[in-house]
């Protein structure tokens, strides 16, 4: 938590145990035919622009996706730790599975919609087997010193970063690339989630 507070991002290897990792991968492949082309923007501003973003997504729902209860429990624990040690007021989440087919990428951006600033912490968990640097698909982070940092999308690796502070991109992937991606939210009482 100290590293996240000071550097605005942190990479955590072996974030998932074997059982949860395989549960998530199996669930992803069960749902792969239900994935939709990902777009940019929210609600009436939502558009598909493959030149900017080339992944497909499946939005998760805590009530529907009960086979992922261990993941939802892990999220609650993660929010508790962040609230306690980083003095955040996280009270919600939005998560989706992401599939970047070969050639897919996502241009540099911040994880914040215009006029909506409730995404506090971005969280990416990688679900890729036997990933090599030559497969591409790295997460490119622009750090506080304006230096580019590359993160390989290795199995069980988690990246946490401040949603409004860390510009990032997904470099072109040369192999099918899978992740569980989402945001830990500040959600005032009475405000319902937009997706999920």
The rounded distance, in Å, linking the Cα atoms of 191 and 4 is 27
Residues 6+ apart with CB under 8 A from 90: 79, 82, 83, 120, 121, 184, 185, 186
Distance CA 129, CA 108 (A): 25
Residue 195 located in a structural domain? no
Domain tally for the chain?
Answer: 1
173 falls within a domain = yes
Task: Using alpha carbons, select from 98, 101, 96, 97 the residue that is nearest to residue 173.
Answer: 101
Lookup: tokens for 125: 């968990």
pLDDT given for residue 86 in this prediction = 85
Assigned domain for 194 exists: no
Does 108 fall in a domain? Answer: yes
For the chain, the maximum distance between any two Cα atoms, rounded to a whole number of angstroms, is: 47
What CATH number is attached to the domain comprising 167?
2.60.120.620
Residue 147 corresponds to which tokens in the numbers above?
């230096």
Task: Evaluate whether residue 32 is within a structural domain.
Answer: yes
Q: Establish if 192 belongs to a structural domain.
A: no
Q: Are the beta carbons of 121 and 82 closer than 8 angstroms?
A: yes
The Cβ of residue 173 has, within 10 Å, a number of other Cβ atoms equal to 25
Task: Record the pTM.
Answer: 0.88
Domain-embedded: residue 159: yes
pLDDT single digits (tens) 84-96? 888 888 988 999 9
Q: Give the structural domain span for 145.
A: 2-41+54-185
pLDDT in tens, 17-60: 999 999 999 999 999 999 988 755 555 554 545 557 889 999 99
Does residue 47 belong to any structural domain of this protein? Answer: no
Q: Kindly state the average pLDDT of the residues 168-186.
A: 95
Cβ neighbours for 94, distance < 8 A, ≥ 6 positions apart: 59, 119, 182, 183, 185, 193, 194, 195, 196
3 state SS of 69 = helix
Calculate mean pLDDT across residues 103-113: 88
Question: Does the pLDDT of residue 194 top 80, yes or no?
Answer: no
Q: Give me the helices (H) in 33-93, please.
A: 69-86
7/160 Cα distance (integer angstroms)? 11
Buried b (16+ CB within 10 A) or exposed e, 11-49: beeebbeeebbebbbebbeeeeeebeebeeeeeeeeeee
């Amino acid at each position: 938590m100290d590293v996240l507070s000071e550097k605005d991002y942190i990479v955590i290897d072996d974030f998932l145990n074997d059982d949860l990792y395989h549960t998530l991968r199996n669930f992803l492949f069960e749902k792969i035919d239900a994935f939709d082309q990902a777009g940019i923007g929210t609600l009436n501003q939502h558009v598909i622009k493959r030149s900017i973003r080339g992944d497909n997504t499946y939005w998760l729902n805590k009530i529907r996706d009960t086979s992922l209860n261990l993941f939802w429990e892990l999220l609650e624990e993660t929010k508790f730790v962040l609230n306690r040690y980083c003095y955040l007021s996280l009270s919600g989440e939005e998560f989706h599975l992401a599939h970047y087919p070969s050639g897919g990428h996502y241009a540099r951006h911040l994880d914040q919609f215009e006029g909506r600033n409730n995404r506090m912490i971005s969280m990416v968990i990688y679900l890729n087997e036997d990933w090599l640097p030559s497969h591409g698909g790295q997460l490119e982070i622009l750090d506080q010193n304006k230096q580019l940092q590359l993160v390989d999308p290795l199995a069980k690796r988690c990246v946490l970063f401040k949603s409004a502070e860390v510009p990032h991109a997904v470099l072109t992937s040369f192999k099918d690339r899978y992740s569980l991606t989402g945001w830990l939210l500040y959600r005032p009482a009475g405000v319902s989630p937009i997706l999920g």
